[in-house]
Structure 1
Amino acid sequence: MARPSSAFSAGRIVERSAAIVAFLVLWELLPRLGVISEAYLSPFSVVAATVWELLSSGAAWEHGSASLSRSLSGLLLAAAGGIALGLLIGWFRRVEALLDPLLQLFRQISAFALLPVFILFLGIGEASKTAIILWASFWPILLNTVGGVRSADKLLIDSARSMGASQAYLFFRVILPSAAPSIFTGIRLGGANCITALVAAEMIGASAGLGFYTLNSQEIFQIPDMYAGILLLAAMGLLLNYVLAWVERRFTRWRRGLAAHG
């Protein structure tokens, strides 16, 4: 009985990895066959060897830790501000009426467009780098938090009110748990944005970081190193996403339990 299950699992693994394998084969063959010049696209095997050298020498850990520190700082600040403000806007209609027009204006402004402003006010140190990441990560967290509060089950809210529940009890025991999945979705989207904004952040007077390493390699035309930096950035983004998904599962286990019993 175990064989069909094992075969099914192996088939799923092959199916899910087929596109990645095909992409890597194309990446290897196109420059090798001269379809794309190796001056612009290094073969995957060369890039993989460069990644291994960076890992072995410790350079990847040095640049990766600098980038991770900046990313987490910006993301944590964005989560704190986005969740707090999102809960206020979602729960209090007057707060929404007051702040929504301004927030709708601000969220149209890209973090990249604000790069000169952050440099002007905060200089080229860590504060401006953190601010760029914070700005890029803040908006999906805010919007998903507001959406989560608004989508809370009205029947549960009315039932709690009919039993004399206080506003504080209603907020912390009904609204917040109901909004938790949407909040975590916003945090994961913010995590993806913070990795994207990291490259822009590390354009500002950085001397370490994967974004800095990638851009610097491009400037000095070390193409294998440039692609190695891109791969390491992608790996860091995937790692961050998996960690956030694990945290989400830990904090929302009760919802899966309810769904299973339902």
Structure 2
Amino acid sequence: MWQLIISGSLFENVFVSLKRSAAGFALALLVAIPLGLVIGWFKKFERFIDPLLQIFRQTSALALFPVFILVFGIGETSKIAIIFWGVQWPILISTIEGVKNVDPILIKSARSMGASQFTIFRKVILPSAFPSIITGIRLSATSAILVLIAAEMMGASSGLGYLLYDTQVKYQIPKMYAAIITMSLIGIIVNYTIVAFENRVTKWK
């Protein structure tokens, strides 16, 4: 690991992987959270779209990787797309469940005090669903790195997945373990960063 650090190879590959993961993860947040809020709030829409969601959710991201390469090419877009597909589902499902499991008494109380639908959504639904959304984000954050590593092992010339595959093929076992340990450390850091954010934002719990 020290040899990889002083050569700059480790940081270079980590930066490339984190950039790809962040792009796919951010895209998943922008799509999955609003969509989950809408699906959870409108029950008729949920009944209509749920079968389609379940079909898509059961389709492995890695199984679709050749399709993404066919559509987007071998470059960065296909890797970001596969991360987006793989990580959006825990966020989406957790958001839907968070909205559906809001205490009905809170909603009835807000309505009895004359709150509008928008006010109920903003003041009751969102805060109540937030812990569940954060749980989905935690699951997805670590999945983003794992999905990317697998994608980089199949089609990349840089990144931690490429470093892992390259050292394995060249039988550079110490460097291979260094890459594995680095992945684990990144996962731990990301997880506890989100936990710290959750504890700070949801002190009211």
Q: Shared topology, TM-score over 0.5?
A: yes
**Match of 2:171, SS?**
coil
| 1:258 counterpart residue number | none
- 169, 188, 203: which is aligned to 2:138? 188
- 75, 87, 92: which is aligned to 1:142? 92
| 1:154 counterpart residue number | 104
Q: Note the residue ranges of structure 1 that are not aligned, 5 or more in a row.
A: 1-50, 256-262
Distance 2:68 2:123 in 1: 39
- Contact 1:128 1:201 (8 Å CA) reproduced: no
| 1:234 counterpart residue number | 184
Q: Note the residue ranges of structure 2 that are not aligned, 5 or more in a row.
A: none
| 1:251 counterpart residue number | 201
- 69, 92, 95: which is aligned to 2:45? 95
Distance 2:198 2:3 in 1: 34
Distance 1:78 1:188 in 2: 13
**Match of 1:207, SS?**
coil
Letter in 2 for 1:106: F
Distance 1:137 1:52 in 2: 32
Q: Alpha-carbon deviation of 1:94?
A: 2.0
Distance 1:66 1:58 in 2: 13
Greater RCO (Cα-Cα under 8 Å, separation 6 or more): 2
Distance 1:59 1:242 in 2: 26
Letter in 2 for 1:89: I
Q: How many residues align structurally?
A: 205
Q: Deviations over 1:218-245 (max 9, x none)?
A: 1121111111111111111111112211
Alignment of 1:52 with 2:33, yes or no, is no
Q: Deviations over 1:44-75 (max 9, x none)?
A: xxxxxxx1221222211101111111111111
| 2:114 counterpart residue number | 164
Q: TM-score, normalised by structure 2?
A: 0.96
| 1:86 counterpart residue number | 36
**Match of 1:202, SS?**
helix
- 9, 20, 24: which is aligned to 1:74? 24
Q: Which moved more, 1:94-103 or 1:122-131?
A: 94-103
Q: Alpha-carbon deviation of 1:208?
A: 1.4
Q: Please identify the structure whose Cα radius of gyration is greater.
A: 1
% identity of equivalent residues? 53
Q: TM-score, normalised by structure 1?
A: 0.76
Alignment of 1:104 with 2:54, yes or no, is yes
- Contact 1:74 1:131 (8 Å CA) reproduced: yes
CA RMSD, Structure 1 to Structure 2 (Å): 1.1
Distance 1:58 1:242 in 2: 26
Distance 2:87 2:197 in 1: 18
Q: Alpha-carbon deviation of 1:108?
A: 0.4
| 1:18 counterpart residue number | none
| 1:174 counterpart residue number | 124
- Contact 1:129 1:204 (8 Å CA) reproduced: no
Q: Alpha-carbon deviation of 1:204?
A: 4.7
Q: Alpha-carbon deviation of 1:98?
A: 2.0
Q: Alpha-carbon deviation of 1:106?
A: 0.5
Distance 2:183 2:11 in 1: 12
Letter in 2 for 1:219: V
Distance 2:165 2:153 in 1: 8
**Runs of 4+ residues deviating >6 angstroms:** none
- Contact 1:141 1:190 (8 Å CA) reproduced: yes
- Contact 1:90 1:149 (8 Å CA) reproduced: yes
Distance 1:78 1:216 in 2: 29
Alignment of 1:65 with 2:15, yes or no, is yes
